[in-house]
Structure 1
């Protein structure tokens, strides 16, 4: 019974011819209707018009560092800066082979290609650019990049400080997220086992 019903419902649209670019859609008990395909909408005039996903913010390209949205007919594409290509799997701009950023010279930052051989590092906080090594280095005495003993702890617990990676900080900054840090196994200056 189920397969017969499926064939019968698909068969409804087989006999319906919709004006392009409309497509036939099964409308349940009401029969069929001709709808605009994905990426298009009817503005009330009976015509399917392209939706500008970029103008509406539906694209997701704004979450990709360096990418811009480019509207296309019925869809959109994320465009990356010169020397980069958009990776549809990871949804990020990856450096092209042969570009100065391909070898990832800015490990704790974002590499910006300035030409065929020139690049600049935009270091993620709390890193800063070191002119001597031409890399991003941790800022001195930043708790986010070093283990630091917490007050009111004995010497045996000094190694139980906290560490948060620059990648997590960068992701939070890029996505506008709030980042909370906590010491696992600790609550109000006492180990959980002590409470």
Structure 2
């Protein structure tokens, strides 16, 4: 979904909290990027993005995870959605409203493939600076913004998810 220049873009999106327990403590695979129209604004965010025509939320989450990080999961390997939210933000001088579902995936289930820049869109090539595994304390203490901001809080509830999707409502980023 899109809009003419200057109009708010309304779209649906899906994200993945890819969790690894291999380093002894849980870590999330996060992407560090910046806004191309505000290059001094850096932020960590979860892999994910907008749905393509006819795509389900789960399929979009799996596709985006593979495209942005090279980690491949099957739709049925995702847990959740653990969160739903409506993110209201500006990116590249364009206003967005994005309804999102956020899923959990386990790194032990993911098949890694070689990450290539060819899988990234033009805007991702311009704005993604790093993909890294971060601990709860590293995200909590990060000097840059973290999206969703709830990742600065305890992870216990989604690491041991009770089956209840939490609605975070509308958040301004």
- TM class, shorter-length: under 0.3
Higher strand proportion (structure 1 or 2): 2
Structure number with larger C-alpha Rg: 1
User: Scaled by the length of structure 2, what TM-score is found?
Assistant: 0.22
User: Scaled by the length of structure 1, what TM-score is found?
Assistant: 0.20
Greater length-normalized contact order (CA 8 Å, ≥ 6 residues apart): 2
